[in-house]
């Protein structure tokens, strides 16, 4: 599947799940901050992606919950080196390089962009 | 039992479909001053039926909640004396939720249709066991004819 087709389908899935116009959904859009996604919307997006691409998304695979339960991963509200390594392992399709610049734990939700979804789908399809 | 809007489960094919019946009676408080059964209650019957399917399919001590209603229409009204036949089918099932499509008909005519999502609470949000409430739920399920929920 061509990249443009993947982007187009992911955009449609996100727009459907969040009740948005497709024009509002950009690659760089953060699901929570820019598109006001709430917790139940992540489940809806998962359903939409599974249906659109015929893929199986395991629980916590795309939107892992309780990422930082381990105290080693966060110190004074900042993600530690161990935490960053954990993030890279858990979310290999996220832009961790940009996150490293100012790795506040409160910024973790900003990793979940439309671009992350596109990269995730590409990885799944290629697998 | 007042807000259980399913009278009987006729069929439950785990993970696939469920058929239930809701009979509308003049004695219901909703109909004391109305001729038409409120469509929101038809919707509630669809949702309760879908939740029953999702719950039995998931098994274990999960607690379900209504996530979203993505589509709904009510082309006609049910009235006192009507038997509402409900069919709900699972469209997609995951460990954390189920997408469902349901239809409610009276004598074959569509009175309600909805597509909706039932989610399951994460384990840490499931309330502590309440033996009295659990027993009430068990008796309600038995009265309706729903199969027991199997352990996960």
Q: What is the pTM of this model?
A: 0.85
B49 domain-assigned? yes
End-to-end CA, chain B: 27
- Mean pLDDT estimate for chain A: 91
For residue A48, which residues of chain B lie inside 8 Å, CB to CB?
Answer: none
- Residue B16 is part of which domain span? 8-125
Q: Which CATH class is domain A1-56+112-127?
A: mainly alpha
- Mean pLDDT estimate for chain B: 90
Query: CA-CA distance, B72 to B104, in Å (whole number)?
Result: 11
Q: Where are the domains of chain A?
A: 1-56+112-127, 64-109
Residue of A nearest to B68 (CA): A40
ipTM: 0.77
Among B68, B94, B117, whose Cβ lies nearest the Cβ of A59? B94
Residues of B with a Cβ under 8 Å from any A Cβ are: 67-68, 70, 92, 94-97, 99, 117, 119, 122
Distances (CA, A) of A91 to A8, A81, A119: 22, 15, 10
pLDDT in tens, A55-89: 999 988 898 877 777 788 888 889 999 989 988 98
B140 domain-assigned? no
**pLDDT confidence tier of residue B2, bands split at 50, 70 and 90:** low
CATH number at residue B96: 3.10.129.10
Q: Give B139's Cβ-side CA count (13 Å radius).
A: 7
Phi-psi region of B87 (alpha: psi -120 to 50; beta: other; left: phi over 0): beta
Query: CA-CA distance, A57 to B56, in Å (whole number)?
Result: 22
B150 domain-assigned? no
B89 domain-assigned? yes
B138 domain-assigned? no
Report CB contact under 8 Å: B68, A40. Answer: yes
pLDDT in tens, B58-102: 887 788 899 999 999 999 999 999 999 999 999 999 888 999 999
> What is the per-residue pLDDT for A75?
87
For residue B97, which residues of chain A lie inside 8 Å, CB to CB?
Answer: 43, 47
% of chain B at pLDDT higher than 70: 97
**Total domain count, chain B:** 1
Of A81-85, A99-103, B124-128, the one with minimum mean pLDDT is B124-128
Q: Give B16's Cβ-side CA count (13 Å radius).
A: 4
Query: CA-CA distance, A82 to A72, in Å (whole number)?
Result: 7
> What is the per-residue pLDDT for A32?
94
The residue-averaged pLDDT of A90-97 equals: 89
């Amino acid at each position: 599947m061509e990249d443009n087709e993947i982007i187009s389908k992911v955009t449609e899935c996100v727009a459907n799940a969040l009740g948005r116009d497709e024009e509002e959904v950009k690659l760089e859009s953060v699901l929570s901050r820019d598109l006001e996604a709430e917790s139940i919307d992540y489940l809806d997006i998962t359903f939409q992606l599974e249906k659109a691409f015929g893929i199986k998304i395991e629980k916590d695979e795309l939107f892992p919950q309780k990422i930082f339960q381990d105290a080693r991963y966060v110190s004074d509200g900042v993600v530690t080196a161990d935490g960053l390594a954990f993030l890279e392992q858990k979310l290999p399709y996220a832009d961790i390089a940009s996150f490293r610049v100012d790795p506040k734990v409160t910024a973790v939700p900003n990793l979940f962009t439309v671009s992350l979804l596109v990269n995730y789908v590409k990885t799944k399809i290629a697998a | 039992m007042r807000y259980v809007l399913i009278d009987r489960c006729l069929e439950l094919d785990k993970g696939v479909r469920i058929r239930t019946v809701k009979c509308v009676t003049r004695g219901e408080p909703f109909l004391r001053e109305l001729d038409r059964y409120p469509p929101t209650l038809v919707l509630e019957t669809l949702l309760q039926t879908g939740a029953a399917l999702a719950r039995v399919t998931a098994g274990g001590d999960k607690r379900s909640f209504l996530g979203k209603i993505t589509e709904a229409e009510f082309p006609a009204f049910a009235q006192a004396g009507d038997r509402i036949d409900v069919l709900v089918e699972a469209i997609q099932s995951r460990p954390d939720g189920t997408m469902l499509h349901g239809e409610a008909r009276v004598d074959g005519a569509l009175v309600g249709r909805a597509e909706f999502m039932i989610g399951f609470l994460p384990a840490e949000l499931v309330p502590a066991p309440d033996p009295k409430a659990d027993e009430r739920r068990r008796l309600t399920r038995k009265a309706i004819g729903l199969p027991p929920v199997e352990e996960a």
